[in-house]
């Protein structure tokens, strides 16, 4: 079974329970609210593939989850030979608990560069930067350190978010929220249950969000 989490939530009773040995998700991460639905569709020993949703890093080692096990947050685990850390938009290292930043990967073997096209339609290869002999890739994946010291993948930092299979430009909403008093930074995250805003603010509560 191959579908987005949103599609599976909307199918209702159209799918017979206990049929599928593999459920492959696409486009979005799997929320806790969907897990019982996936379990009901799973045959004995069923597995869920790509439960983390869209990711570009190539360092998430465990993309296959046991559908017979309880739901748990999905963590990014560095693959062998790769080092990862958490940085802000200026590539400054972040270690504070609950801080959300972008995932940076260092390794001897990553992609050699990015293919870029200019206004004239000409393609060129922009090499990755190097750090102490290692290739460095700053991904668009958003992560944070959880209470257990693991790295939790939250979503993507792209301005374009995918919702019910449709692309949405989150830039206007992000700019609007960042213009509010006391807000230093805003990140819009696409989740299967809806889009969520993460705010870095001066105060623990933001009353204007209720208006």
The pLDDT tens digits for 163-180 are 666 677 778 888 888 888
Whether 46 contacts 23, CB under 8 Å: yes
What is the three-class DSSP state of 148?
coil
- Runs of H (alpha helix) within 27-103: 35-41
Contacts 24+ apart (CB under 8 A), 175-179: none
- Ramachandran assignment for 195, one of left (phi > 0), alpha (psi -120 to 50 degrees), beta (any other): beta
Q: What percent of the chain has pLDDT over 90?
A: 5
- Order across the sheet with 42-49: list the strands: 2-3, 20-25, 42-49, 64-66
The pLDDT tens digits for 8-28 are 877 767 778 888 999 888 766
The residue behind tokens 């009773």 is: 13
- Is the pLDDT score of 34 beyond 50? yes
Q: What is the mean pLDDT of residues 95-116?
A: 76
Contacts of 6 (CB under 8 A, 6+ apart): 27, 28, 163, 164, 165, 192
Mean pLDDT of the chain, nearest integer: 76
pLDDT at 208: 56
What is the three-class DSSP state of 115?
strand
Two structure tokens written together for 44? 């004995």
The pLDDT tens digits for 111-150 are 666 677 778 888 876 776 777 778 888 887 888 887 777 7
**Cβ of 143: how many Cβ atoms within 10 Å?**
28
Cα separation of 42 and 21, whole Å? 6
Q: What percent of the chain has pLDDT over 70?
A: 70
pLDDT at 114: 65
> Could you tell me which residue, 117 or 61, shows the higher pLDDT?
117
Cα separation of 43 and 16, whole Å? 11
Sorting pLDDT into bands at 50, 70 and 90, what band is 210? very low
Cα separation of 60 and 42, whole Å? 23
- Is the pLDDT score of 54 beyond 70? no
Is the overall model pTM greater than 0.75, yes or no?
A: no
Q: What is the mean pLDDT of residues 46-59?
A: 70
């Amino acid at each position: 079974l191959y579908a987005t989490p949103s599609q599976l939530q909307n199918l209702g009773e159209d799918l017979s329970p206990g049929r599928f040995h593999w459920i492959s998700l696409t486009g979005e991460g799997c929320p806790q609210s969907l897990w019982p639905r996936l379990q009901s569709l799973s045959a004995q020993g069923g597995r869920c593939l790509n439960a983390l949703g869209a990711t570009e890093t190539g360092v998430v080692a465990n993309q296959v989850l046991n559908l017979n096990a309880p739901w748990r947050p999905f963590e990014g685990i560095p693959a062998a030979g790769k080092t990862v850390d958490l940085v802000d938009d200026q590539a400054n290292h972040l270690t504070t608990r609950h801080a959300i930043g972008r995932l940076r990967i260092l390794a001897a073997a990553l992609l050699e560069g990015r293919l870029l096209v200019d206004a004239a339609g000409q393609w060129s290869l922009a090499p990755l930067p190097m750090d102490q002999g290692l290739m460095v890739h700053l991904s668009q994946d958003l992560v944070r350190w959880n209470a257990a010291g693991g790295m939790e993948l939250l979503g993507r930092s792209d301005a374009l978010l995918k919702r019910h299979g449709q692309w949405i430009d989150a830039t206007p909403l992000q700019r609007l929220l960042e213009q509010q008093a006391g807000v230093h930074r805003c990140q819009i995250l696409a989740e299967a249950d809806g889009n969520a805003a993460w705010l870095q603010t001066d105060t623990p509560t933001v009353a204007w969000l209720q208006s």
